[in-house]
Structure 1
Amino acid sequence: MIQLNIFEEENKVEGQLVHQAVSNNNDRLLNELLSEEKYRKCINCRSGWGIPGTPLRMAASKGHLRCVQVLLAHGAEVDCLDVKAQTPLFRAVCGKYLNCVLALLRAGANPNGSLYNNCSPVLTAAREGDGEILKQLLKHGAEVNSRSKILLFTSSTGVSSGPLYLSAVYGHFDCFKVLLLYGADPNYNCTDPKLLPKIKQPKTVLEMCLRHGCGVEYIQLLIDFGANVYLPTLIIEKSTKQNEAVELLLQERGNACGLLINFSLHIFFSVLLTLDKEL
């Protein structure tokens, strides 16, 4: 770390010029600078007020696609972390810059972001309702279910803050559907054997949808994708306005043919997903 600070201090002027070119979205000047060794040595240097970051982080945060492309072409580290363990891809997702997201993914960026960041690109896209970015992340191999992260094993919200939960609670039905199409667990949105046992009373996605007043279409889709309708502890309060959704759930519990229908639909959607990936 000391060596890194000394290096960045010695190349402060060159680094500032590179960062300034990115800040001004001047990709031509940036390309000229990086054609010289003394500037190219600063391509992964961190600078700036607030949260110091690399030029690639700045370009991704601002949605400066051409600068992102120039930096990647000159060898910028695609998954460089800032002090908050955020990658350039994570910043691009936060800004909803689809083109930058695609450029970074094609350059090999980890679609899951950093293990050291409590959040992830998929969680962010699901929460913000950006269906196309979410789809691209999943196409490039992002984890669709909750996963354990360092220092999160004792979290009481790990399961109930998965992408499927977030898309439902924030009312992003398109994202909800995309996640299920790409294999999200319809019961707990978690298949991690280390994480799920840590939660004393994990709430199913069905129960969360009922508690948060999600529309009947959410319940129907979960049932279509094979959610276990016998898992929720159904406590209907007087204030609940989910009569239609509750009736659907109770009806499904009594439907002896439900499992066979669900299995057929699951195969159908799996075929659709395979065809979508091949296109």
Structure 2
Amino acid sequence: MDFTETYTDTVSKVSAAARAGCTTKLKKLILRGFRVDTSRDNRGWSALHEAAAAGSEGCLSSFCFLSAAGSSRSFVNSLTHEGESACYLAARRGHLAVVRLLLSAHADINQLTNDLSCPLYTAVDGGHTEVVALLLSKGSKVNGTHTASCWTCLHQAVYKGHSDIVRLLVTVSDLEAPDDHDITPLFVAAQYGQRESLEILVNAGANVSAQAADLATPLMIASQEGHVACVDFLLDHGADPNTACSLDWPQLPLHAAAEFGHIRVLKRLIAVTDRVCDHGEGAVSPLYVAVYRDQSRSVEVLLEGGYSPDAQDCTHILGVQSPLSLALSRSADKPRISQTLRGGGPELDHQEKTLRGGSPDLDHQGKTVLQLQELQELLCVALNQVHFAACWLPLLLKAGTDEPRVNVLQYSLPPLSHLCRLKVRSVLGPDVLMTTDVVQQLPVPTSLHGFLQFKDIPETEQKQSERETSKAVSQL
């Protein structure tokens, strides 16, 4: 139920006077017999809550006098429908004098609301440094959890960037207090770019390498969010850029920076990250994530830093053989990245123009035989120029692609043996003729007879049934 809206017809006269801070009027109403401890509005607020929320020390003094005269402590600690005490409401609004007065009247300093907050937590959230200092001096609990995600007061102070309050809390709080995902206050500082709070925590002895439940580190999250100052500070204070930060595969802060295109962070991390991630077995090159996220600038920076477009085969981890093969599979929509990985530039433009309508033998620069790199580049461009197959297919068939380095493209091009088969069949005659015994008379090796008739491809049950039916009909 929502108790945030107050209805005017539910507010008593004493509550209205307390809300307005009219001490004289309030005292007169009390002397006339109006009760301050029973009349509540639709939110469950009494005159006590109104005076505390309004910061009316004069009105509140009247209630405290009644308490001292014999009223029970339950009046001072009475709660609204949302579990808010007068002390909580005063702390939330930063009313230092009112909080002090309520504490002297035996207000419960650690009373929790329905949503697990307390006077200290709400004062921290609001950035009320003096109220926080007062509550700490009076023994408020600092390491309790006050949200559904189990954040402490220190988590919240860091998140809000209240540096002065962080300085107060680090002297009495558990610096490594975990939330429900094992995230520490220092992790929160790195995540939200709170550079000053990060420094306070580190100087107080907080662990710069504390990992969350998913193995993420403060350096990784700062890299992911692009907080350059935090990344620099963490690296300068012992954070390890080579700590694996994922349960799935050894993701590093470098990967996070590349994936989200944070170039300044990426350049800093390239200089300190072990290059085994670019070629080591079981590792994943950051080029993979940069390509997958279409971060062309990240790709360029990584290539300039010496990372290879071939990298390691990640079929068993990501389902692709190389960053180049991943780029080619996405090149129809994002051609820039595949061009970057292939080298780009005027030479690539020349090859594309050649494929679109160049000479039949594609003999450029006086060469009659393509080098392996040239063949690879032509294959890459050809994937996006299938309408000009008549220009490029003969050369590719003639050049051959038996070199191991071209295997990264086999997932997107049919085997050349199959292309040769199609070419032979188109020259020899119609498909109907190729299904007969005339194939046995062709001047080709015997081992190719069955191949030309596609006998190496398993026949579907439907095709087999159709063939047997046709044979039976022909025998009638």
TM normalised by structure 1 equals: 0.70
Q: How far has the Cα of 1:145 moved from its partner?
A: 1.7
> How has the CA–CA distance of structure 1 residues 121 and 69 changed in structure 2, closer, same or farther, with 3 Å as cutoff?
same
CA distance in 2, matches of 1:129, 1:187: 21
Q: How far has the Cα of 1:30 moved from its partner?
A: 1.2
Structure 2 unmatched ranges of 5 or more? 1-35, 245-250, 277-476
Aligned AA (1:30): L
Q: How far has the Cα of 1:20 moved from its partner?
A: 2.3
Aligned match of 1:137: 169
Give 3-state SS (helix, strand or coil) of 2:76's partner: coil
Mapping for residues 122-201 of structure 1, pairs under 5 Å: 122-139=154-171, 141-147=172-178, 152=180, 158-159=181-182, 161-188=183-210, 199=213, 201=214
> How has the CA–CA distance of structure 1 residues 146 and 52 changed in structure 2, closer, same or farther, with 3 Å as cutoff?
closer
CA distance in 2, matches of 1:244, 1:83: 47
Number of residue pairs matched?
Answer: 221
CA distance in 1, matches of 2:164, 2:64: 32
Q: How far has the Cα of 1:246 moved from its partner?
A: 0.8
Give 3-state SS (helix, strand or coil) of 1:56's partner: helix
CA distance in 2, matches of 1:20, 1:218: 43
Structure with greater contact order relative to length (CA < 8 Å, sep ≥ 6):
1
Aligned match of 1:87: 118
Question: Residue 187 of structure 1 contacts residue 227 of structure 1 at CA under 8 Å; is this kept in 2?
Answer: yes
CA distance in 2, matches of 1:210, 1:24: 44
CA distance in 2, matches of 1:115, 1:25: 24
Q: How far has the Cα of 1:250 moved from its partner?
A: 3.1
Aligned match of 1:221: 233
Give 3-state SS (helix, strand or coil) of 1:42's partner: helix
CA distance in 1, matches of 2:271, 2:222: 13
Question: Residue 89 of structure 1 contacts residue 113 of structure 1 at CA under 8 Å; is this kept in 2?
Answer: no
> How has the CA–CA distance of structure 1 residues 68 and 183 changed in structure 2, closer, same or farther, with 3 Å as cutoff?
same
Aligned match of 2:65: 35
> How has the CA–CA distance of structure 1 residues 136 and 123 changed in structure 2, closer, same or farther, with 3 Å as cutoff?
same
Per-residue CA deviations over 1:87-135 (Å, capped at 9, x if unaligned) read 1100111111111111111110012234675222111111111111111
Among the aligned pairs, what percent are the same residue?
Answer: 21
Aligned match of 1:23: 53
Aligned match of 2:329: none
CA RMSD of aligned residues (A): 2.7
Question: Residue 110 of structure 2 contacts residue 141 of structure 2 at CA under 8 Å; is this kept in 1?
Answer: yes
TM normalised by structure 2 equals: 0.43
Question: Residue 187 of structure 2 contacts residue 218 of structure 2 at CA under 8 Å; is this kept in 1?
Answer: yes
Question: Residue 190 of structure 2 contacts residue 230 of structure 2 at CA under 8 Å; is this kept in 1?
Answer: yes
Per-residue CA deviations over 1:210-256 (Å, capped at 9, x if unaligned) read 222121x42332234332343144354373412332144338x9xxx
CA distance in 2, matches of 1:53, 1:162: 28
**Which of these two proteins has the greater Rg computed from alpha carbons?**
2
Aligned match of 2:79: 46
Question: Residue 86 of structure 1 contacts residue 113 of structure 1 at CA under 8 Å; is this kept in 2?
Answer: no
Q: How far has the Cα of 1:57 moved from its partner?
A: 0.6
CA distance in 1, matches of 2:262, 2:49: 54
Q: How far has the Cα of 1:44 moved from its partner?
A: 0.8
Mapping for residues 100-111 of structure 1, pairs under 5 Å: 100-111=131-142
**Which of 87, 90, 105 lines up with 1:74 in the alignment?**
105
CA distance in 2, matches of 1:218, 1:171: 6
> How has the CA–CA distance of structure 1 residues 207 and 20 changed in structure 2, closer, same or farther, with 3 Å as cutoff?
closer
Give 3-state SS (helix, strand or coil) of 1:250's partner: coil
Q: How far has the Cα of 1:77 moved from its partner?
A: 0.9
Deviation above 6 Å: which 4+ runs of structure 1?
A: none
> How has the CA–CA distance of structure 1 residues 126 and 115 changed in structure 2, closer, same or farther, with 3 Å as cutoff?
closer
Aligned match of 1:246: 269
Aligned match of 1:207: 220
Is 1:56 aligned with 2:87? yes
CA distance in 1, matches of 2:147, 2:224: 31
